[in-house]
């Protein structure tokens, strides 16, 4: 019961924070991202069997790093839009600016990798080594599941063959029980 109350409290905090971001973000609808984030936290809570205290420490930490990484990803996306416009002959970018933009793309990748390493170190101070390893596996599995869902949605949108929904991948680790 405490776990459900904790998840609902986290959901409320995230939805309020997401609404503030949506208002700042120029009117883009952030609800799908909020729902995805809530689903991720729900699954993570279950997968790691988090108690209220550790979840209260872990979720704000993850949210902070996710926000920083999202900012870097947004910057990268903006650069990519400008480059695409250049390559589609919609906008002309001087060569020296092209070099700066290309270099910045690689710098952003390094910065994101650094943030991910910092996040891992911070997570490992809250979780046990076993849980930290499970968290690392969870991140990879969850991203892959989201990628598969997006691909399935694109195929359906384009009128292609429907792909069966992915089977749940997050099963208890050996010796964990159910």
Domain membership of residue 174 (yes or no) is no
Domain membership of residue 164 (yes or no) is no
Q: How confident is the model at residue 121 (pLDDT cuts 50, 70, 90)?
A: very high
Q: How confident is the model at residue 155 (pLDDT cuts 50, 70, 90)?
A: confident
Q: How far apart are CA 121 and CA 96, in angstroms?
A: 38
pLDDT surpasses 50 at 15: no
Domain membership of residue 39 (yes or no) is yes
Q: How far apart are CA 118 and CA 63, in angstroms?
A: 13
Domain membership of residue 51 (yes or no) is yes
**Are 147 and 75 contacting, i.e. CB atoms less than 8 angstroms apart?**
no
pLDDT in tens, 72-104: 999 999 999 999 999 999 999 999 999 999 999
Domain membership of residue 159 (yes or no) is no
pTM beyond 0.75, yes or no? no
Q: How far apart are CA 44 and CA 7, in angstroms?
A: 11
Per-chain mean pLDDT for the chain:
80
* Domain count within the chain: 1
Domain that holds residue 8: 2-145
pLDDT surpasses 60 at 42: yes
Domain membership of residue 175 (yes or no) is no
Q: Looking at per-residue confidence, does 60 or 27 come out higher?
A: 60
């Amino acid at each position: 019961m405490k776990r459900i109350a904790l998840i609902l409290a986290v959901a409320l905090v995230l939805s309020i924070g997401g609404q503030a971001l949506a208002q700042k973000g120029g009117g883009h609808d952030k609800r799908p991202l909020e729902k995805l984030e809530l689903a991720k936290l729900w699954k993570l809570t279950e997968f790691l069997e988090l108690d209220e205290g550790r979840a209260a420490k872990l979720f704000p930490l993850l949210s902070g790093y996710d926000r920083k990484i999202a900012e870097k990803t947004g910057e990268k996306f903006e650069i990519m839009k400008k480059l695409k416009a250049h390559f589609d002959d919609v906008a002309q970018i001087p060569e020296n600016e092209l070099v700066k933009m290309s270099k910045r793309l690689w710098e952003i990748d390094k910065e994101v990798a650094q943030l991910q390493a910092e996040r891992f170190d911070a997570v490992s101070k809250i979780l046990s080594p076993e849980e930290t390893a499970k968290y690392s596996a969870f991140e990879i599995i969850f991203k892959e599941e989201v990628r598969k869902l997006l691909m399935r949605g694109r195929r359906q949108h384009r009128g292609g063959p429907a792909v069966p929904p992915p089977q749940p991948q997050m099963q208890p680790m050996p010796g964990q029980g159910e």
